[in-house]
């Protein structure tokens, strides 16, 4: 088994001290911590520089109705660029500062996305951008959940307008077509979302099916 680097050990210690009391869980032995809200995740990552020891901080959210088998930053900010490790004493202070900032960002996300209405408002304010298929998809699903079928179909049309150059794009377009067809039926959309969330949670190894805010 490979030895844990001093940077990872110090980051883990700081994150356990700051993030675990908020209810976040470490993903395995990685530098990723998860804030589980059932149908969406807050994600805290302490990325390492490519060519040196150290860490930065990225915090964001993932919408589980995408039914991915991997974590993804759908809404993210790189909060702090990477700072290099120079000594244990120096980096212990860096790690604690990063973890402390992570707690502030987690609390901000919890407030920003405290209910479906706030999530939908935030996603619908973001314009469609060619090549950013999932932004339009997520906005369309949120609009359908919020009983806004016209807005949902408009945003999902942007997904359908993308060139189907790969299998994942074709799968996303099929999902967009399904939601667009049922956008007038909120109960059907919610059932579709619950099924997708359950599937995604299973793929990600998350316990149970939690869906507060979708009922």
pLDDT digits (tens, 9 = 90+) for 39-94: 999 999 999 887 788 899 999 999 999 999 999 999 876 677 788 888 899 999 99
Task: Please give the pLDDT value at position 165.
Answer: 93
Task: Please give the pLDDT value at position 1.
Answer: 43
Task: Please give the pLDDT value at position 81.
Answer: 78
Per-residue pLDDT of the chain (215 residues; tens, 9 = 90+): 455 788 999 999 999 999 999 999 999 989 999 999 999 999 999 998 877 888 999 999 999 999 999 999 998 766 777 888 888 999 999 999 999 999 999 999 999 999 999 999 999 999 999 889 999 999 999 999 999 999 999 999 999 999 999 999 999 999 999 999 999 999 999 999 999 999 999 999 997 655 556 65
Distance CA 93, CA 55 (A): 12
Decide: pTM greater than 0.85.
yes
Torsion 49-53-57-59 (CA) sign? positive
């Amino acid at each position: 088994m490979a030895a844990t680097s001093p940077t990872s050990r110090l980051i883990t210690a700081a994150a356990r001290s700051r993030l675990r009391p908020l209810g976040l869980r470490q993903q395995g032995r990685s530098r990723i911590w998860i804030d589980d809200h059932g149908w969406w995740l807050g994600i805290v990552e302490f990325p390492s520089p490519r060519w040196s020891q150290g860490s930065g901080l990225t915090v964001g959210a993932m919408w589980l109705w995408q039914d991915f088998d991997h974590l993804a930053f759908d809404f993210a900010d790189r909060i702090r660029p990477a700072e290099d490790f120079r000594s244990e004493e120096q980096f212990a202070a860096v790690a604690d500062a990063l973890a402390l900032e992570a707690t502030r960002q987690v609390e901000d996300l919890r407030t920003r996305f405290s209910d479906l209405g706030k999530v939908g408002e935030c996603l619908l304010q973001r314009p469609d951008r060619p090549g950013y298929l999932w932004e339009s998809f997520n906005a369309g699903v949120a609009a359908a959940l919020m009983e806004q079928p016209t807005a949902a179909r408009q945003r999902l049309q942007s997904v359908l307008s993308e060139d189907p150059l790969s299998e994942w794009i074709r799968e996303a377009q099929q999902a967009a077509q399904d939601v667009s067809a049922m956008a007038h039926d909120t109960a059907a959309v919610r059932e579709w979302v619950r099924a997708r969330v359950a599937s995604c949670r299973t793929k990600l190894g998350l316990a149970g099916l939690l869906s507060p805010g979708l009922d």
